Amino acid sequence: MDRRGSRGEPPSELPTPCAHCPLLCPDSHMDMKGYKWVRWRVWLCRVLAILTGGLFALLLYWRPQLGVRARCTPCPLVLADVLLIQDSGGKQHVIKVLTEEMEEGSWEMLGEVDDNESRDTVQLYQEDQKAVLRYYLLEGLRYVWLDRKGLFVRVSILNEDWTCKDLHGFKKGLGPLEQIFRRRVYGSNLIDVPVKSYIQLLFEEVLNPFYIFQLASFILWMLDHYYYYAICIMVISFISIGVSLYMIRKQSVTLHNMARLVVDVKISKSSGEEQIVSSVDLVPGDCILIPAEGLLLPCDAALLSGECLVNESMLTGESVPVLKTPLTAADRRYCSETERRHTLFCGTQVIQGKGGGPNDGPAMAVVTSTGYFTAKGGLVSSILYPQDSDFRFNRDASKFLLFLGAVACMGTIYSILLFIKYKAPLKDIFVRSLDIVTIVVPPALPAAITTATIYAQQRLKRLNVFCISPPRINISGKVSVFCFDKTGTLTEDSLDMWGVMESSHDGFSELVSDPSSLRPGPMLSALACCHTLTILHGNPLGDPLELKMVQSTGWTQDEPNGNGQILNSEFGGHTVLAVMNPPSQQDTTAVAIIRRFPFSSALQRMSVVTVAPGGHSVVAFLKGSPEMVASLCKEETVPVQFSTTLSNFSKDGLRVLALGYKPLDVATDLNTIEREDVEKDMHFLGFLMMKNLVKAESPQVINMLNMASLRTIMVTGDNILTAVNVAKNCGMIGSDEKVIYVRAFPHTDQSRPTLRFTLGDEAVASQDNIEVITQGLYQSGYSYHLAINGKSFAALCDYFPEYLSKVLMRTTVFARMAPDQKTQLVKELQKLKYKVGMCGDGANDCGALRAADVGISLSEAEASVASPFTSKIQNISCVPLLIREGRCSLVTSFSLFRYMAMYSLIQFCSVLILYSMRTNLADLQFLFFDLVLVTVLAIVMGKGGPSNELHTTRPPASLWSLPVLGSLLIHTSLIILGQTGAILFTRAQDWYVPLNGTVPGEDNWPNIEDTSMFAVSGFQYIFMAVVVTKAHPHKKPLYYNGWFLVLLLVFSGLMTWLVMYPLPFMRTWLKLYEVEDLGFKFVLVGFSALNFFTCLLMEMLVDIGLLNYLRLLRGQRPSKKPYKCLNAQLLASPTWPPLNQALFPTHNTIMSLS
């Protein structure tokens, strides 16, 4: 048996990570460079670190790639001590290469060396006549050096080319030496989330640039004699560090406990013995035995014999247990996704294991992946190392901080020139000019912005919507298109039996609404036996559709209990999986199910093999989508009315399945027969119709999204006509809107690739009618919807990429879509710069849920890792709820950002104005503004909830837009005007005494200039919180935020009291000048009020579009988003889509996207 690994082409990214998933296995990095330590460079860096007081070491800590280049020299990868890796996302990693000595020649246990270039094995690096394995760890994944390829690749490459037949060869187990070697190469079977010590966390937290900035500011403030302020900020920083360390460690421990799974498992050894080992020691190739009472899977494993009932809710959110069946010993390459119905995934719970091994022993499975290479490991990795979201608000926030930094530099230069003019001491020039930087760049800005997300997350949790990725909340506010699964999402999970219709030589028989009244025969047996139900605690368990189907026949199911040899002998010695017993009134015998080929979304079918008592009458039954079943049946057995009958039922919104059967030769080896041999040359039996009702909430929610100009799309695995019917019932397609079916056909030996757009209206019979309706279609604008199925979608992607974006813009129904096609659809929509939402309820949607910008899984699990959001609300009413919260959070984040920016600019202006008069704000004045006013207001500003309705416009996400920058400029100008006006008014008073310009600022306290600035700027901090707080249309009005409203009134009253009637001890603490002129105080308060109303008026004018007139100067610019440009083109197009015309590829190159 060949057990070596080979590199294969990775298939599409699928929900369950298989060995080829590019998200989990990025062995082809964008860039990888090797470096070797140079001793003299290392010592030089240490000397520089000492000479610079640690600053150089700090720089290398913040920029590890710079540290590598400073301490090392480039070298070939095979000699490297350190690797500098840039992944596909542009993120850089500095990785240390690890080595481990191995026994000479031990790598040959993985298989003999093959000259075939497509097959590779680990080549151990020879060093001083010793075999050394070179590897590194990146985000939990182990990469080993392959000498023939000349690069590091995933260690899972060793088992990527295993075939299903190879896996069956592991039934005997591994030898002791081979197991030891594999353990060294693959590493321990642990999903180990590191939990750092408090000391290590403290070290990393303190060296964060934010706290280094705080430390530098603290030193600066102490030098400037701001002792109270500096000490308070430092105490708050220590508290913040303590809370941060506690939260980080708590989250790490929680994730560590969730991810770490260590159990004892029983394995089969090559000696024939069975041994209980720790799951930590499992390696790919180990054969594990599944006990009857079940097991919590510590690895990914392929089931070789027996059956297992598995709860996969932790991975997929799907609450219905899944029956896993044995993998056939076929000569095809194994992949966990394509063989998912035969694969036991790590982290899932085997509820029940049924024997099927030799002598009716326990179920057997072979380990295929361990550690972070498992399905659970991939999901944990996505939580630990999430991909950076390309959200414009986050990008603009970083750019705006740089802008504020530039403002701080200009203020610093101005301060230096000012103090040089005043001939101030060098110390004052240094301290006061740098103090400007600490004022303009607010270090608390990132923390303040996150408060909006935290409040939104708490509100969602109270409404049973749980989030494991808080940054996605803001992104949900920008969603422009939402995709929905059909069954279980838009429609009910439960199905009602509608009836069956048998086929005959003359066509179809009459509809039979009660299948139990069918005469004994293949159709009745197919309905009773063609399923994957199992018995747990005496109750049947499985797919709701199959439960309804079997219940409608009146048949009951029994399963082997204990030693099944007696039962097996009753049915000709075959291994019996289940026995289906007919009701007593039916004149027929029991039937045993001996083979199951479970349903696959990709195959769109399932089948079983049954035998009668004594092993007689071996029959295979097939159930699946009508089109697929018909294609596997003999042509002469399919009625000519097949298409029209199917179309009629599908248009009524019925879930239609087809059934087929085929007698098998009794002499056939049923234990080794392949699925392909069973599911061919079948006899068509007829249709099974189930009624799948639309959930009551679905039309209301879809209508709400339509009214809010949010595009809705249905993505389902069901029949296209059924999907269109449900789309009409939900309101996705209006009653007066046309449906155009997109049919794309791939290249064949007889024909070229073809694309057609067909109007789905049977009344259109002539070309004249087509032209009339087409004319009305084009003249009415957006009054049509496209519908396409999975096969046509694949052909469209492969042969007609030039039409793909146009089709995506107008398609509302995607039917017969496989799980990987759902994921691909989401990514294609994202390429058009849509922010895509996805709502689904189970495993088939897992990949799309994770690929979407906002994925919502309808699941009873509170913390399913299948998607960023999990809703316990079992209908789509959670979608507008999340969008409203996202919009509210985004608007609040904007308000907080603008408020923190205005706070910095207010203080920046007031300090520079006071600098020009050789004074400054006092120590406790700074403390009062920063901690009492600004911090408290910023914390409660985000508590306002979302609006009850969805508005047609989405909130902006760009901080560099004209309204945002224009309003900041206008408000800053009004702030400066208010502050300078207050100073000029103060100087105009008869009792005004100028400051002593020869005395430093702190010796001038208290003074009237500082007191006037304190009064005006204090009111500015308060009223600016009101001015920048946005409510309509995405948030509730201001008065709904009770805490914010109360604090505004309290702080306004407090400032008025401090200006009008401050108590002596308050004047002393705050260094306020005693003013006896009550009229002057009234004018200051009135002046602040006027400043407030002016700013508020300008903000209202900006909101209604005052600055939009400036855009007229530059002219109208087209949108940069592709989907908006495409929409404009389609609306202006008089001939698209071309109906009933055969379109051919415009080029000969096939672009394979599927």
Q: Which two tokens mark 349?
A: 């719970």
Distance CA 298, CA 371 (A): 9
C-alpha dihedral (821, 826, 829, 830), degrees to nearest 10: -140
Q: Which residues contact 241 (CB under 8 A, 6 or more apart)?
A: 202, 205, 206, 211
C-alpha dihedral (10, 12, 13, 16), degrees to nearest 10: -90
Give the three-class secondary structure for 262. coil
Of how many residues is the chain composed?
Answer: 1154
Element (H, E) at 981: helix 962-987
Q: Which residues contact 771 (CB under 8 A, 6 or more apart)?
A: none
User: Strands of 349-354's sheet, edge to edge?
Assistant: 295-296, 349-354, 307-311, 322-324
Residue whose pair of structure tokens reads 């007689």 in the numeric block:
616
Give which of 80, 68, 89, 74 is closest to 151, Cα–Cα.
Answer: 80
Find the farthest-apart pair of alpha carbons in the chain and give their distance in angstroms, rounded. Answer: 119
Distance CA 580, CA 531 (A): 11
Identify the active-site residue in 435, 485, 853, 1010: 485
Alpha carbon separation from 507 to 626, 629, 851, 915 (Å, rounded):
15, 17, 45, 96
Give the three-class secondary structure for 893. helix
Angle, CA 815 vertex, CA 813 and CA 816 arms, to 5°: 170
Residues 940 and 899: beta-carbon distance below 8 Å: no
Alpha carbon separation from 498 to 401, 511, 549, 688, 790 (Å, rounded):
63, 9, 10, 8, 26
Distance CA 967, CA 970 (A): 5
Q: What is the DSSP letter of 786?
A: E
Query: How many CB atoms neighbour CB 275 within 10 A?
Result: 11
Contacts of range 295-298, beta carbons closer than 8 Å, 24 or more positions apart: 295/263, 295/265, 295/349, 295/350, 295/353, 296/261, 296/263, 296/347, 296/348, 296/349, 296/350, 297/344, 297/345, 297/346, 297/347, 297/348, 297/349, 297/350, 298/189, 298/261, 298/262, 298/263, 298/265, 298/346
Residues 941 and 879: beta-carbon distance below 8 Å: no
- 485 assigned to active site: yes
Distance CA 774, CA 766 (A): 12
Which ranges of 422-463 would DSSP assign to H, the alpha helix? 426-440, 445-462
Q: Are strands 300-305 and 274-278 parallel, antiparallel or unpaired?
A: unpaired
Query: In which region does residue 295 sit, left (phi positive, over 0), alpha (psi from -120 to 50) or beta (all else)?
Result: beta
User: Annotated catalytic sites, by residue?
Assistant: 485
